[in-house]
Amino acid sequence: MSVSDNCIESTHCNYMAQTLLPLKLVPPPLREGVLLRPDLQALLAEVRLHPLTVVTAPAGYGKTTLLAQWAQELGRTGAPVSWLTLDVGDRDPALFLAYLIRAFQMAFPTLGRDATRVLSSAASLERDWSLIAGALCGDLQRRVQSAAFLFLDDLHHVIDSAVIEQILGYLLRAAPPTLHIVVASRREVHIPPLSRLRAEGRLVEVRQADLHLTLEQARQLLTIQGVALSDEELTTLLARTEGWALSLQLAARALAELPAERRSAFVEALGGGSEQLISYLADEVLADLPADILEFLRLAALPPHFDADLLTAVLLRDDVPYLLRRVRALGLPLTPLDNQGERLRFHPLWRELLLRGIDEFVDNETLAAFHRRFGRQFEMRGELEEALEHYAHAGSIDNLERALLERAWPLLNSPRRDTVRRWIEQIPVERRDANPELLYMWGYSQIVSDPSRAAQTIEHAAELFRRSGAHARELRAYSDLAMLLFWQARPADFAAVCVRAVRAANLARDAWSRGAALTCVVAMLAIRGRLSAALRVARHAATHPLNPAWHWLLAMIVTSIHNQLGRPDDALAMVDEALQSNQIDGNDRMRQNLLRQRAMALYQIGQPAEAITLALDVHRYLLDYYHDGTAGVSAAQLALLLSLQGRFDESAFYIAQARAAFHDLGALAPLASLQVIELYNMLRCGQAARAAAAASAFVRRLDEVEGVAPDLRLRLLLAVVLGEAGEHRQALDLLRTTVQQMQHRGYRLFLASACLYGASLASVCGEGALRDAWLRIGWTIAAEDRSRFLPIMPVSALKDVAIAALRAGIAPDAVGRILPHHVGDEAVELLRDALNDPDPSVRTHAVRLLGEVGTAAAYPVLRLLLKDRNPAVRQAAEESLNRLVYRPPYPLRIRMLGAFTVWRGDHEIRDREWRSSKARQLLQLLLTERGRALPRERVVEALWPNMEIEAATNNLRVTINRLSKALEPDRPEGAPSAYLIQQGETYAFNTASDHHIDVVEFADAVAEGRRADQRGQRTAVIAAYRRAVQLYGGPYLPDNMYEDWTVVERERLALMFVESALRLGTLLLEEGAVHEAIGLAWRVVEIDQTQEEAYRLLMRAYAALGERSTALRLYARCVDVLQNELGIAPLPETTALYHTLRDLR
């Protein structure tokens, strides 16, 4: 493999490569001497209190400067600020969403991970945009608990995109009320919620008239240029320019070059529309510029942005820094893009005017040469799209093609992949189809949007690589082709590609190729049913370097084999290992397919409810990504899990989904598996005879429909259908061959189930020797693998073989682990006969088994057995009782302010672990009333107020169980909970347990601040209250805002925060920390807009900054709010402060 191949191998699957331009994500720095607009700065108070602010005006009115000033001021007060400058290229919805997510991540680094994964895998954003927007807004609702701000500058560039308009509308509707969005646009914005927000008075609008410069502001602008006009001349200038900042700036530059006696005539001559005015002013300014400066400006305007090094390299002159200093000194509209002022751009209108006449100064050949040089420089800087634009302007297809080949691979795994595809399609078709690398890139760019076309194109590219002897690249193309075919569930085509990949790997002969070849061998062995051999080869493959595609394929095949053989722990470990790869975890298609395997493994370890929850979630995503093989496989797996849990109607729905997908593919074996699931459903729904007849007919053609690699798990399920329908002998005969094949192929857990179910059937059929042999084999496997569950095992058969194992002394520990998952509390009754057995060893095994079962019903039985006449039995009973006492190895951490989140140690309890919103609510209720035991009636009334008492009590019992499992998933059944206290018919949270609650820590910090304040310890007061306001993440239990039992506690904590924030803000203002004081006061106003003391603190703080107009505007708002909300006037001290500030001069 060549050096370039190695580079591509290691980078072109680098998910979400750093392709987003960082300068678009920060506000442009404010120029030195920028004009401050107190009237507009004062509007920031309104911006803070409204969900949306829209600034609309033509170019040159200072929109960006205003937004940057607001963002800077908000940042000083500690508010999280996200910024995004948009341009024409962001009309691509994928790119827009990528930038939007990244903008939020600048303020909230962990936000948007799920949205990014979905974005990487969505096939059509016209259809799937709501998946990404929904994931993003869900994160925003969880994370943004206090005021945060999103600035979208130059929105007019993207608002014509129907998808982006829908995304913005969704964001405005679904974002939390704490998010304030500020947009600037040259054109009117018509996002759907805008009219409603305007009607509700929840919209701040800043229009062109609001941005007109005043007489005094125009005078300041002229003064900066050293121009003095009379009041009359200044009034005329303001009228002619309509207060347009850019035209005034250019007019000031032109006036500075005129003698004083000619200025009045110049002002009088101004007029016309905005475009005519700017053209006239620009011509006036350009006419007075030295020729060398003018030529320099026109060439510098060719790129969208520039710096001294770029211009030096392209223009081949050493005086660029000097020329840039002269340009700045001349006061021309040059905008810095970074804080150092090194990266620059011209105002868009000014750039347009400079470029308008460039043909008169530079011939076409020379201009093309400049574009090529700019392209090369941008390419070397990693700014590929700018480079491609310049190559396109130069008409240089050779450079365009070369740049794509050398630089574009990382972009193909980013939201810019469609942009790259469009650039590739600008290259003539005959050139593209003759270049295998370019053809490969073009096919790869369509993997998400058109996988069938992508497969055809990549296959063609691989063939061209083969003909040219580029076997490393051929192999790389096969990796993506194999992944596509695997997704599409096309096993024959997949196997054929694996064969070709092995041939290519043998010709390439390097470490990467060796790993790919071994992965293909694993796949071929698995397809042929040689599962144990496949696992042996997989261990060798894993020792070689693998690109993400081969790595994912290997993980999928190996986890599938582990699940098929019944090795769930190995399957879970493989899934976790694969998801450690950022490239795999970041690709949601890869991730969801691995999670589908995780769901099956969870079922096999005895967590069927969790498995179904995960499988449903995964299937929802996969159905959005696929409509072919993968969707069918996912639906079939879900149908099986639902059937095994008795959810037959739901199972039938997913069987129909899977059948439609498999029919389209002509996949006979998967269709046969669906028929087996249907037969099981028929059996469980009371149609045993019909199920048995159909199953008997189906058995006779098993080999015909299953092929060379049958899934023996479904044969076990078919045997269960026959056996439970009364066809014991036929079921036993089927199991004879199934067990033999399972042993040959290396099955474990399913072999244990098959042997134990077969042992139960053998007992019915009078085959004692077979029964004893299979009983020992099955329980021995369960003991060796420390199995916790026996899949597909009927409960009645399990009871039979469990008692038989106990009496025979076979693997009692394994019986104890497995029995609770299948029979629960019934285990105690099941073991009663064994506890009365005359043989002490049998009684001892039964006692130990009770300890393993761990149900509450075992306690009284075990206590009685402490008096057994046999010392071994007594010792076993004592050990079992001790084993039932459980202490969690982690503290419980609970957040209740701003959101409700619970962590077991470092593990956050997610929605699927709660299994019910009522489980969360029950914990919230007990925490709200912590320190008190609540009677059952109080709990039932709070959670199920309109339900009959009997039904509500049953619900409470189920909810207590779910809550306990969420908090203590490893606690033995029946052992007392460490966190929940249940005494009789009362319930409480155990305040003596190992836990941390933010509410308690917040209240402690407030109490500490009060004590320090009473002692006059100023430093301690500030430290304590700072900790308190940091802990206060938002309102108490915001998800239960309207529950009566949360109201008192929410108000109590909010008042404590208001007290702490205002006291801290006052002290900080006295210490000179003005912006921090402003931030605290605004947090109080967001909680309670009628809090006068907060307005007074804001007025004093803004006055201290010299922003008297903001302070006076805040007083007016305070008066309005108090009158509208409470019908009262401000307090005398508030009015007195207003008069003091008003009279300041």
- Residue range 55-69, pLDDT digits in tens: 998 777 788 889 999
Instruction: State how many domains the chain has.
Output: 7
pLDDT (0 to 100) of residue 1009:
95
pLDDT bin (cut points 50, 70, 90) of residue 1058 is very high
pLDDT bin (cut points 50, 70, 90) of residue 435 is very high
Claim to verify: residue 545 and residue 569 sit in the same structural domain: yes
Q: Angle 231-241/245-256 helices, nearest 10 degrees?
A: 130
Q: What are phi and psi of 337, to 5 degrees?
A: -110, -10
How many CA atoms lie within 13 Å of 1060's alpha carbon, on the beta-carbon side? 31
- The residues near 1087 (Cβ < 8 Å, ≥ 6 apart) are 1035, 1054, 1057, 1058
**Of 255-269, 352-366, 782-796, 1014-1028, minimum mean pLDDT range:** 255-269
pLDDT (0 to 100) of residue 535:
94
Characterize the bridge pairing of strands 334-336 and 344-346. antiparallel
pLDDT bin (cut points 50, 70, 90) of residue 184 is very high
Structure tokens at 384: 């590929």
Q: Which of 82-86, 130-134, 519-523 has the highest mean pLDDT?
A: 82-86
Average per-residue pLDDT for the chain? 86
Q: CATH number of the domain that 104 lies in?
A: 3.40.50.300
Structure tokens at 478: 């096969």
Q: Considering the domain boundaries, does residue 821 fall inside one?
A: no
Question: Does residue 35 surpass a pLDDT of 70?
Answer: no
Question: Does residue 495 surpass a pLDDT of 80?
Answer: yes
Nearest to 462 by CA among 424, 516, 408, 417: 516
Cα separation, 519 vs 904, whole angstroms:
38
For residue 246, the one-letter residue type is: L
Last residue of a domain, one of 971, 993, 1015: 993
Q: Other C-beta atoms within 10 Å of 607: how many?
A: 20
pLDDT (0 to 100) of residue 933:
92
Largest CA distance in the chain: 125
- DSSP characters for 1066-1086? HHHHHHT-HHHHHHHHHHHHH
Mean pLDDT value across residues 960-968: 90
Q: Considering the domain boundaries, does residue 762 fall inside one?
A: no
pLDDT (0 to 100) of residue 463:
94
Claim to verify: residue 350 and residue 322 sit in the same structural domain: yes
Claim to verify: residue 465 and residue 395 sit in the same structural domain: no
> Residue 115: left if φ>0, alpha if ψ -120 to 50, beta else—which one?
alpha
Cα separation, 760 vs 800, whole angstroms:
7
Claim to verify: residue 148 and residue 197 sit in the same structural domain: yes
327-357 pLDDT, tens digit each: 887 767 777 887 777 888 887 777 877 887 7
pLDDT bin (cut points 50, 70, 90) of residue 864 is confident
**Of 302-306, 473-477, 504-508, 806-810, minimum mean pLDDT range:** 806-810
* Contact assessment for residue 148 and residue 80, using Cβ atoms and an 8 Å cutoff: yes
The four Cα atoms 462, 467, 471, 475 give a dihedral, to 10 degrees, of 20
Q: Where are the alpha helices (DSSP H) in 836-898?
A: 840-853, 858-865, 871-883
Mean pLDDT value across residues 808-826: 80
pLDDT (0 to 100) of residue 699:
81
Q: What are phi and psi of 184, to 5 degrees?
A: -125, 135
pLDDT (0 to 100) of residue 760:
94
pLDDT (0 to 100) of residue 884:
64
Question: What does R_g of the chain's alpha carbons equal in angstroms?
Answer: 37
Q: Considering the domain boundaries, does residue 739 fall inside one?
A: no
Mean pLDDT value across residues 519-537: 90
Cα separation, 671 vs 153, whole angstroms:
54
**Of 693-702, 745-754, 982-991, 1049-1058, minimum mean pLDDT range:** 693-702
* Contact assessment for residue 973 and residue 820, using Cβ atoms and an 8 Å cutoff: yes
pLDDT (0 to 100) of residue 45:
86
Structure tokens at 525: 């062995």
The SS3 call for residue 1127 is coil
SS3 sequence of 682-726: HHHCCCHHHHHHHHHHHHCCHHHHHCCCCCHHHHHHHHHHHHHCC
Q: Which residue is listed with tokens 């919230």?
A: 924
SS3 sequence of 394-405: HCCHHHHHHHHH
> H-helix or E-strand containing 612?
helix 608-625
> H-helix or E-strand containing 908?
strand 907-908
Last residue of a domain, one of 577, 600, 620: 577
Question: Does residue 747 surpass a pLDDT of 90?
Answer: yes
pLDDT (0 to 100) of residue 8:
39
Question: Does residue 901 surpass a pLDDT of 90?
Answer: yes
Structure tokens at 1001: 């820590």
Mean pLDDT value across residues 752-767: 94
Question: Does residue 615 surpass a pLDDT of 80?
Answer: yes
266-322 pLDDT, tens digit each: 777 666 555 556 666 566 666 677 888 888 988 999 998 999 999 999 999 999 999
Claim to verify: residue 573 and residue 583 sit in the same structural domain: no
- The residues near 296 (Cβ < 8 Å, ≥ 6 apart) are 315, 323, 327
Claim to verify: residue 44 and residue 179 sit in the same structural domain: yes
CA distances from 900 to 550, 624, 914 (A): 40, 30, 12
- DSSP characters for 626-664? -SSHHHHHHHHHHHHHHHHTT-HHHHHHHHHHHHHHHHH
Mean pLDDT value across residues 452-475: 92
Q: Considering the domain boundaries, does residue 1072 fall inside one?
A: yes
Q: Which residue is listed with tokens 């121009």?
A: 227
Cα separation, 754 vs 735, whole angstroms:
7
Question: Does residue 973 surpass a pLDDT of 90?
Answer: no
Question: Does residue 1068 surpass a pLDDT of 60?
Answer: yes
Q: Considering the domain boundaries, does residue 799 fall inside one?
A: no
Q: CATH number of the domain that 606 lies in?
A: 1.25.40
pLDDT (0 to 100) of residue 102:
94
pLDDT (0 to 100) of residue 825:
65
Mean pLDDT value across residues 714-721: 93
151 vs 665 pLDDT, higher one: 151
Helix and strand tally (H, E) in the chain? 61, 14
Q: CATH number of the domain that 513 lies in?
A: 1.25.40.10
Q: Considering the domain boundaries, does residue 805 fall inside one?
A: no
Claim to verify: residue 78 and residue 193 sit in the same structural domain: yes
pLDDT bin (cut points 50, 70, 90) of residue 120 is confident
Question: Does residue 1052 surpass a pLDDT of 90?
Answer: yes
pLDDT (0 to 100) of residue 7:
39
Claim to verify: residue 537 and residue 633 sit in the same structural domain: no
Claim to verify: residue 407 and residue 442 sit in the same structural domain: no
Q: Which residue range forms the structural domain that includes residue 1059?
A: 999-1142
Claim to verify: residue 529 and residue 631 sit in the same structural domain: no
1081-1128 pLDDT, tens digit each: 999 998 888 999 999 999 999 899 888 888 888 999 999 999 988 999
At residue 971's C-alpha, the angle toward residues 970 and 975, to 5°, is: 165
Question: Does residue 16 surpass a pLDDT of 90?
Answer: no
Cα separation, 710 vs 701, whole angstroms:
12
pLDDT (0 to 100) of residue 30:
77
Considering the entire predicted model, what is its pTM? 0.73
* Contact assessment for residue 853 and residue 816, using Cβ atoms and an 8 Å cutoff: yes
Claim to verify: residue 247 and residue 307 sit in the same structural domain: yes
pLDDT bin (cut points 50, 70, 90) of residue 698 is confident
Claim to verify: residue 188 and residue 49 sit in the same structural domain: yes
Cα separation, 986 vs 936, whole angstroms:
6
Q: CATH number of the domain that 922 lies in?
A: 1.10.10.10
> Residue 898: left if φ>0, alpha if ψ -120 to 50, beta else—which one?
left
Cβ density class 958-995: b for 16+ within 10 Å, e for less: ebbebbbbbbbeebbbbbebbbbbeeeeebbbbeebeb
Question: Does residue 708 surpass a pLDDT of 70?
Answer: no
Question: Does residue 13 surpass a pLDDT of 50?
Answer: no
Sheet containing strand 907-908, edge to edge, reads 907-908, 901-904, 892-895, 995-997
pLDDT (0 to 100) of residue 572:
95
* Contact assessment for residue 859 and residue 847, using Cβ atoms and an 8 Å cutoff: no
pLDDT (0 to 100) of residue 370:
93
Q: Considering the domain boundaries, does residue 877 fall inside one?
A: no
Cα separation, 576 vs 556, whole angstroms:
12
527 vs 775 pLDDT, higher one: 775
pLDDT (0 to 100) of residue 997:
95
Q: Which residues pair with 56 in a beta bridge?
A: 185
CA distances from 832 to 498, 706, 828 (A): 57, 45, 6
pLDDT bin (cut points 50, 70, 90) of residue 4 is very low
Q: Considering the domain boundaries, does residue 427 fall inside one?
A: no
Last residue of a domain, one of 186, 212, 238: 212
